[in-house]
Amino acid sequence: MRKLTERAIKALPRQNAEQIKTIVNDLVEGNKVLETVLSSLPAGIMVSDINHDLLFINTQARRFLKLSGNDFLEKKIWKAVHDKDISDFIESNLLSQERVDEKDFNIQIGDKVKTLALSILPLVDRGTIKGSFISLEDVTEKRAESLRLRRAESLASLTTLAAGVAHEIKNPLGSISIHIQLMQKCLNAENDVCKADLLDYLNVVNEEVDRLNQIVVNYLFAVRPMDTDPKCRCINSLIEELIEFIHFELEQESIEIIKNLEKDLPELKLDDKLIKQAFLNIIKNAQAAMKGEAGLLKISTFRVHDSVAVSIADTGPGIPEELKDKIFEPYFTTKDSGSGLGLTLVYKIMKEHSAEIRLNSIVGEGTNFTFIFPIPQKEQRLLGWDGEKDEI
């Protein structure tokens, strides 16, 4: 279209009146097609020039912003918009030349409240900014859907958790009820009450009450938000301290520890106690997985772009494909006396640290958990500056 126009303009001096009329007619027709296309778009579109004067507005944008007539054309774009919030937002962002990606506004259209996502992009022509492009998208359904999804997700995890608790409390409750019946039988018996039996039953009831209590404590721990106290610290020294703490026990079980810690890693924002707890849970699982065999526990740290990774790998039996999604679920365990909360806690701690967890496990070879921690902004800037200094 643009090439056609340019060619037509170039050729203009050589054309007679009839030919010029045809060219102009063609251009008008082309323009009409463009306008029809822009007007039938479901998104609202506004275009302004470099002075922020409104050049074009399509039908949908007029509908969203309740504009009629044309007297707002070639005025400052924000003056054309009646809604004060939207108008102020456009004005301040155009004047500061900020790019905007989907800022939501709620507006009333008819008897419905709609959510509009407003984006502002610079209009660039051959490398220079010629104005701005504002788009308005009706995202009412999209936002409602994502809210529904998020609610469903948290409901689903609460259901899994509640199902886990229900399953966990069944056994102690059953046991308590049986022992109370036994005590009743004992007391109702014609012959003398056997004190020793009663004491035994009472002890069992006591232990089961403790178990119930522990289940409730664990449950609360799993659902409550976590208190973290992150401080800048070196991940390698944290790992060294942890190894110092556990190496004796591992070596006694013939598990060899291999350390591979990259030097000069930037500091990370870590809650010392929680991260140690998380890594300890992973190491304990590795230890359990390698029980009875001379295994290897490999702990490595290394840098990946803007992150630092910690990998903990064992040479245990590995995790079958169908269990990989389940192991982080609360109360999921394959152990007779497992709590099934170890990895749930790891997941929670890593989430608090914005760290990503990657699981790589091959049946018959071993399991590798990698944790990818973001490098704090301040550390990143310092690194960039050092790099520049080196080049001078």
Ligand X SMILES: Nc1ncnc2c1ncn2[C@@H]1O[C@H](COP(=O)(O)OP(=O)(O)O)[C@@H](O)[C@H]1O
Task: From 163-171, 199-207, 283-291, 307-315, give the range in contact with Mg ion by CB under 5 A.
Answer: 283-291
Q: Which is nearer to ligand X, 137 or 329 (CB)?
A: 329
The single residue among 231, 241, 259, 338 that binds ligand X, judged by CB under 6 A, is: 338
> Got the DSSP string for 265-286?
PPPEEE-HHHHHHHHHHHHHHH
Supply the minimum distance, in Å, between the C-beta of residue 288 and Mg ion. Answer: 7
- Can you list the alpha helix ranges (DSSP code H) found in the chain? 2-11, 17-40, 59-65, 77-80, 84-95, 140-188, 195-223, 235-252, 272-289, 342-352, 377-391
Q: What is d(CA 117, CA 119) in angstroms, rounded to the nearest whole number?
A: 7
3-state class of 302 per DSSP?
strand
| Contact residue for ligand X among 120, 286, 297, 349 (CB under 6 A) | 286
Report the first-to-last Cα separation within the chain, whole angstroms: 50
C-alpha 37/C-alpha 40 separation (Å) is 5
> Contact, 237 vs 261, CB < 8 A?
no
User: Does the protein bind ligand X through residue 291 (CB under 6 A)?
Assistant: no
Residue 340 engages ligand X in binding (rule: CB under 6 A)? yes
Residue in 319, 350, 355, 372 binding ligand X, rule: CB under 6 A = 319
* Residue 281 Cβ vs Mg ion, minimum distance, rounded to whole Å: 6
Residue of 48, 135, 140, 285 that binds ligand X (CB under 6 A): 285
HEC string of 40-91?
A: HCCCEEEEEECCCEEEEECHHHHHHHCCCCCCCCCCEHHHHCCCHHHHHHHH
The least distance separating ligand X from the CB of residue 326, rounded to whole angstroms, comes to: 8
Torsion, Cα 274 275 277 281, to 10 degrees, reads 140
User: Which two tokens mark 163?
Assistant: 């199902």
User: Judged by CB under 6 A, does residue 295 bind ligand X?
Assistant: no
Question: Which tokens hold the place of 335?
Answer: 């152990």
Instruction: Give the shortest CB-291-to-ligand X separation in angstroms.
Output: 10
Cβ atoms within 10 Å of 355's Cβ, excluding its own: 22
Q: With CB under 6 A as the contact rule, which of the stretches 141-149, 197-205, 261-269, 284-292 interacts with ligand X?
A: 284-292
**Residue 340 partner contact from ligand X, Mg ion, none using kind-dependent CB cut-offs of 5 to 8 Å:** ligand X
59 binds, among Mg ion, ligand X, none (CB under 5 to 8 A by kind): none
Stretch that binds Mg ion, among 12-20, 92-100, 254-262, 336-344 (CB under 5 A): 336-344
Residues between 252 and 281 with contacts to ligand X, criterion CB under 6 A: 281
131 vs 330, beta carbon nearer Mg ion: 330
Q: Is 335 in the site for ligand X (CB under 6 A)?
A: yes
User: Do the Cβ atoms of 265 and 303 come closer than 8 Å?
Assistant: yes
Residue with tokens 């007679």: 16
Which tokens belong to 260? Answer: 């591979």
CA distance 113 to 248: 65
Stretch binding ligand X (CB under 6 A), from 107-115, 177-185, 242-250, 325-333: 325-333
Residue 93, beta-bridge partner list: none
314 touching ligand X, by CB under 6 A: yes
> Please, which residue, 254 or 334, has the CB nearer to Mg ion?
334
Whole-angstrom Cα distance, residue 238 to residue 261?
A: 11
- Residue 367 binds ligand X, judged by CB under 6 A: yes
Q: Mark residues 185-214: x for contact with ligand X by CB under 6 A, - for none.
A: ------------------------------
Q: Token digits for 202?
A: 């009472």
- Tell whether residue 285 is a contact of Mg ion (CB under 5 A): yes
Contact flag: residue 316 with ligand X (CB under 6 A):
yes
Assess 334 for contact with ligand X (CB under 6 A): yes
Cα(152)–Cα(160) distance, rounded to whole angstroms?
12
Residue 342 as a binder of Mg ion (CB under 5 A): the answer is yes
- Interface with ligand X, residue 333, by CB under 6 A: yes
Binding of residue 172 to ligand X (CB under 6 A): no
Binding site for ligand X (CB under 6 A): 281, 285-286, 289, 314, 316, 319, 327, 332-335, 338-344, 367
